[in-house]
Amino acid sequence: MDAQIFADAVVDVNHQIPYGKVGVRGDALCLAGIGAALLAKSGKVYKGCNVENAAYSPTNCAERTAFFKAVSEGEREFVKIAIVGGVEGTEPEELCAPCGVCRQVMNEFCDKDQFEIILMDGPDNVKVLKLSELLPYGFSLN
């Protein structure tokens, strides 16, 4: 997989996903918008955004949206995911890390010692972690 293709997808997610708009999306309050670009072992990149819902629990994070799109199209092996986002008009105070549910979904499909999670709030603030660093004791049926 050409690194530039993945980088372009990250930039695309960062600029085209309508994240950061404080207000209503559908009937749901969206305080921060998040975008994700997931690289499958096949070389295909799957993009996702938050899908908000007024009832909160049906809300789907950008990371899971990207994973579920990929899995629904037959992908089962993944290399890395980049996550970007925040609240529009504010300076990020910290990088946008995946929630516990998203970490567990990643744990189901990825080698936790190899899968990379790239956290970023712009081109100058990037941190790369392995899934094992964010979820050292993930639940597994194995």
Mind telling me the catalytic residues? 63
62: left (phi > 0), else alpha (psi -120 to 50), else beta?
alpha
How far from chain centre, in Å, is Cα 63? 3
Distance CA 19, CA 55 (A): 19
55: left (phi > 0), else alpha (psi -120 to 50), else beta?
alpha
Question: What sign results for the dihedral spanned by CA atoms 62, 37, 7, 77?
Answer: positive
Both structure tokens of 98: 């995946």
Distances from the Cα of 48 to the Cα of 61, 137, 140, angstroms = 8, 26, 25
